[in-house]
Amino acid sequence: MKRALPILAVLVLLLAAIAIANPFFLEPAGFLAFLKRAAPLVILAAGQYFVVVSGEFDLSVGSLVTAEVVIAARLIDGDESATWPVLALLIVAGPLAGLVNGVLTTKLRVPSFIVTLGMLLVLSGAVFLWTGGAPRGALSEGFRAFGRGGLGPVPWSVLILLAVGAAAIWLMRADFGRTLMATGDNERAAALSGVRVDRVKIFAFMLSGLSAAVAAILLGGFAGVSAQAGQGLEFSAITAVVLGGVVLGGGRGSVLAAMAGAVTLEALFTLLNLYGISGALEFTVQGVIIIAAVAAGAVRLPRKPTPRRGDAHAAS
Amino acid sequence: MDLLTRARRPARLPHGGPATHLRDPVRVVFLALAGLVAAGWALVALDGGQFLTLESVVGIQQRSAALGIVAIGQTLAILAGSLDLSVAYLISLASLVAAEIMAGQDGNIGPAIAAVLAISALVGLVNGLVIARLRVHAFIATLGVALIIKGVVDHLYDGPAGKVPESFQLLGYSRAGPIPVSAMLWAGVAVVAWFLLSRTRLGYRIYAVGGNEEVARLSGIRTSRVIVITHVLCSVCAGIAGLLLAARLGAGAPTVGTDGGYDLESIAAVVLGGTALAGGRGGVAGTVGGVLLLAVLDTLFNQLEVNSFVKDVVRGAVIVVAVAVYARHGTRRPA
């Protein structure tokens, strides 16, 4: 967790700043509303973490989220009875896209940057081809409940977030976590010690696809159907993971810190909104803070003397 | 220097043969280009049309010039083991700066070009320094710089702005015979980059740093300086592409770079041309082939009137398959 300390400090500062600007934030309802908004990105960051820590990238999650939301709307088309079958389909489709990414990356030895970029193009092309440019259909109330509704005062999305977080932490403590970490740190050494490297990486990609499916269900619930539902989420998720001190190239960082990175990013957006910084300049501030945070993390802590750049791709 | 010269040519094998041909990505991409042209010719002929008329050849060159120039800059950054995701927003910014300063006056063309080149060099300098000095991964560093530029551009502009004088618009549209001026500009940039990479000390150092940064540093190369220089050159290429697009549009536009998808598209073209994303292997010739291949594919789809979204699907598949072919025949680099 040592690498995660800077981001936790930043997170505490941001939360304090939000609380000062908006005292409602300190009440349970206000804080839960914040967590509900943050849930999709945090879940995506957890999925992206598995891929990044294994030494790869997943650039396809944003378009996968869009595809799932658009597909759900078209298939459900307001029909309440279609809710559960479509949900099941989405949950299966996400890991399936991840499986394709993983197999192409490991078996064909194409860098994951390129594989998932190709998947991004294919998915966004296919979605528009199928919808003819504008999403059609509508989500049912039952589907939207996951993003909008709640169990008493606690939104479903916060409960789902907690479940995903617990599952991710459990996975990283299980055998899978250790072999994944070993694979990302030194693929060859891991392979020589008997780790089925390809299988581990494919599973990481499938987890990323699954997290995109869950995020899509939540986003479709409260943000609604649009062809831009997942736009840019892949970059936000990777940024969140890196903010949490996870090293691009693999082998180092904790999943909890990656999710904390996503909460921090969301807190940053909230704060910028509260202080009325215009929509556009928000990006500028975000860019400066991301660079500063990652640079600060890199400077303060000692690095291992391994080559830093490119090893993500070399390992693929 | 001798060592480095030899070190960058492990891909060429002494003996010929079909397998060797496939080992050289530059050959693969140009063979694929020839195959695509032949297949396109046949398909369009069956459709009752004619592929690659003078008009469409000019169109291919004009359309690919901007992407080509960006991709050549991107090649330099990738060869050094880095990459640049900020080029798309920089292109938009460059087009706006150019059109605003020109303001329709011929006399302002010189200062506008100078300003665009200076600003893009500055952005490249920031990218390079953040990566090399602050040790931020290139992916995050250039993404951060991209967000910074996006914020500024979106804050200041809602739509097209400025005006490009008629004389500068000639850069976008005029041509000498079948060759557009924009294509000559692209060729010029490519030749300069080729010369830099294969005939100068800096070129060898770029390959060395991309091949193994630690070894390069221990051999006495100032690796940070090399990385900074490649990023400055990459951004200047993006600035030139911005000038070209401003000339074509007659104005600056805040979304011209992102609408063209120049960030991921340029990286895809570079990799399609056989340059390794990990750095240290590849070159300009492959990138030129990669850009042309994407442009011919586009033209073919246009002529066959294929749905434009199918294009995205096929393009994604082509890129993945091409890289898989190289990966199959290349050796796996140690992690």
What is the per-residue DSSP string for B52-118? S-HHHHHHHHHHHHHHHHHHHHHHHHHHTT---S-HHHHHHHHHHHHHHHHTT-GGGHHHHHHHHHH
B89 band by pLDDT with thresholds 50, 70 and 90 = very high
User: What is the rounded CA–CA span in Å between residue B16 and residue B20?
Assistant: 6
Backbone angles phi, psi at A155, to 5 degrees: -65, 145
Residues 6+ apart with CB under 8 A from B249: B95, B99, B160, B164, B172, B256
Determine contact, residues B85/B150, Cβ cutoff 8 Å.
Answer: no
Reduce the secondary structure of chain B to three states and give it as a string.
Answer: CHHHHHHCCCCCCCCCCHHHHHHCHHHHHHHHHHHHHHHHHHHHHHCCCCCCCHHHHHHHHHHHHHHHHHHHHHHHHHHCCCCCCCHHHHHHHHHHHHHHHHCCCHHHHHHHHHHHHHHHHHHHHHHHHHHHCCCCCHHHHHHHHHHHHHHHHHHHCCCCECCCCHHHHHHHHCEECCEEHHHHHHHHHHHHHHHHHHHCHHHHHHHHHHHCHHHHHHCCCCHHHHHHHHHHHHHHHHHHHHHHHHHHHCCECCCHHHHCCHHHHHHHHHHHCCCCCCCCCCCHHHHHHHHHHHHHHHHHHHHCCCCHHHHHHHHHHHHHHHHHHHHHHCCCCCC
Among the partner-chain residues B130, B152, B210, the one whose CB lies closest to the CB of A295 is B130
> What pLDDT is stored for residue A2 in this prediction?
63
- ipTM value for the complex: 0.80
Q: Do B319 and A121 touch (CB under 8 A)?
A: yes
What gap in Å lies between CA A40 and CA A38, rounded to an integer? 6
Exposed/middle/buried for A159, CB within 10 Å: 0-12, 13-18, 19+? middle
The two tokens of residue A2 are 């040592």
Amino acid letter for position A157: S
Q: Confidence band (pLDDT; 50, 70, 90) for B24?
A: confident
Please give the model's pTM, rounded to 2 decimal places: 0.85
Q: Is A313 close to B276, i.e. CB distance below 8 A? A: yes
Q: What is the pLDDT of residue B324?
A: 81
Residues of A in contact with B141 (CB under 8 A): 291, 294
B80, B273 contact by CB (below 8 A):
no
CA distance A155 to chain B (A): 32
- From chain B residues 165-204, the ones with a CB under 8 A of any chain A CB are none
Integer Cα distance of B95 and B239 in angstroms: 8
Q: Which residues of A234-243 are buried (b: 16+ CB within 10 A; e: fewer)?
A: bbbbbbbbbb
Q: Taking CB atoms and an 8 Å limit, are A128 and B309 in contact across chains?
A: yes
Q: Which residues of B touch A299 (CB under 8 A)?
A: 134-135
Contacts of B320 (CB under 8 A, 6+ apart): A104, A108, A110, A114, A115, A118
B258 Cβ under 8 Å from any chain A Cβ: no
Residue B175 has pLDDT above 80, yes or no: yes
What one-character DSSP code corresponds to residue B331?
P
pLDDT at A298: 64
Residues 18-77 of chain B with CB under 8 A from chain A are none
Chain A neighbours among B 82-121 (CB < 8 Å)?
Answer: 82
| pLDDT score at A90 | 94
Question: What is the rounded average pLDDT of the residues B187-210?
Answer: 96
Quick one: pLDDT at residue B21? 56
User: Lowest mean pLDDT: which of A105-114, B8-17, B126-135, B302-311?
Assistant: B8-17
Instruction: Give how far Cα B231 sits from Cα of A81, B63, B85, B146, B264, Å.
Output: 55, 24, 11, 14, 16
> What is the phi/psi pair of residue B53, to 5°?
-75, 170
What's the CA gap between A53 and A98, in Å, rounded?
16
Least confident of A264-278, B30-44, B97-111: A264-278
Contacts of A305 in chain B (CB under 8 A): 214
**Which of the residue ranges A263-272, A278-287, B182-191, B265-274 has the most confident prediction, judged by mean pLDDT?**
B182-191
Q: Which residues of B touch A283 (CB under 8 A)?
A: 147-148, 150-151, 154
Report which of B102, B101, B269, B116 is spatially closest to residue B190, judged by C-alpha positions.
B269
pLDDT band (50, 70, 90) for residue B328: low
Shortest Cα–Cα distance, B135 to chain A (Å): 6
Give the separation between CA B329 and CA B11, rounded to whole angstroms: 10
| Amino acid at residue number A16 | A
- Residue-wise pLDDT for B215-245, tens only, equals 999 999 999 999 999 999 999 999 999 999 9
Q: Which residue of A has its CA nearest to B210?
A: A310
Nearest Cβ partner for A235 among B143, B313, B323: B143
Q: Mutation target for A interface from B265, B309, B333: give the one with most A CBs within 10 A.
A: B309
Nearest to A309 among B82, B130, B310 (CB): B82
Taking contacts as CB-CB distances below 8 angstroms, the residues of chain A near B214 are 305, 307
Whether B277 shows a pLDDT value over 90: the answer reads no
Average of per-residue pLDDT across B248-255 = 92
Cα–chain-centroid distance for residue A308?
23
Domain boundaries, chain B: 52-323
Q: Is B281 near chain A, with CB under 8 Å?
A: no
- In this prediction, the residues of chain A whose per-residue pLDDT falls under 50 are 300-304, 306, 308, 310-316
Which of the four pLDDT bands, split at 50, 70 and 90, describes residue B16? Answer: very low
Angstroms from A228 CA to nearest CA on chain B: 14
Which of B213, B307, B316 is nearest residue A307 as measured by Cβ atoms? Answer: B213
Which residues in chain A are closer than 8 Å to B310, comparing Cβ atoms?
125, 129
- pLDDT of residue B318 exceeding 90, the answer is no
> Long-range contacts of range B306-309, CB-CB < 8 Å, 24 or more positions apart?
B307/A129, B309/A125, B309/A126, B309/A128, B309/A129
B141 touching chain A per CB within 8 A: yes
Distances (CA, A) of B320 to A94, A116, B76, B308: 20, 9, 22, 19
Q: Give the integer Cα–Cα distance in Å for A235 and A102.
A: 19
DSSP string of A34-59? Answer: HHHHHHHHHHHHHHHHHHHHTT---T
DSSP class of B252: B
Whether B196 and B77 have beta carbons less than 8 Å apart is answered as: no
pLDDT of A124-165, one tens digit each? Answer: 888 878 877 677 888 888 888 888 888 878 889 999 999 999
Average pLDDT, chain B: 87
Distances (CA, A) of A234 to A215, A237, A309, B49, B278: 12, 5, 20, 42, 21
Mean pLDDT, residues B90-117 taken together: 95
Task: For residue B22, name the pLDDT band (cuts at 50, 70, 90).
Answer: low
Task: Check pLDDT > 80 for residue B4.
Answer: no
Backbone Cα Rg of chain B: 20
Closest residue in B to A115 (Cα–Cα): B320
Nearest CB partner across the interface for B81, out of A247, A303, A309: A309
Beta strands in chain A (DSSP E): 150-151, 154-155
Would you state the pLDDT for residue A67?
93
Residue given tokens 């509704």 in the structure block: A149
For chains A and B, CB pairs below 8 A equal 176
Whole-angstrom distance, CA of residue B140 vs CA of residue A293: 11
Name the percent of chain B lying above pLDDT 90: 59
Quote the pLDDT of residue B329.
59
Taking 50 as the threshold, does the pLDDT of residue B15 lie above it?
A: no
- B195's tokens: 């010369």
- Please determine, for residue B3, whether its predicted confidence score (pLDDT) is greater than 70: no
Q: For residue A309, what is the nearest residue in chain B, using CA coordinates?
A: B81
* Closest residue, chain B, to A281 (C-alpha): B151
- Least confident piece of the model among A131-140, A263-272, B116-125, B143-152: A131-140
Reported as a single tens digit per residue, the pLDDT across A160-196 is: 999 999 999 999 999 999 999 999 999 999 999 989 9
Q: Where are the domains of chain A?
A: 37-295
CA A282 to each of CA A291, B30, B126, B155: distance values in angstroms, whole numbers, following the listed order: 14, 44, 20, 9
Question: pLDDT at position A135, please?
Answer: 78
B20-29, B154-163, B184-193: range with lowest mean pLDDT:
B20-29
Which chain A residues contact residue B335 at CB under 8 A?
Answer: 55, 186-188, 311, 314-315
Two structure tokens written together for A107? 């078996």
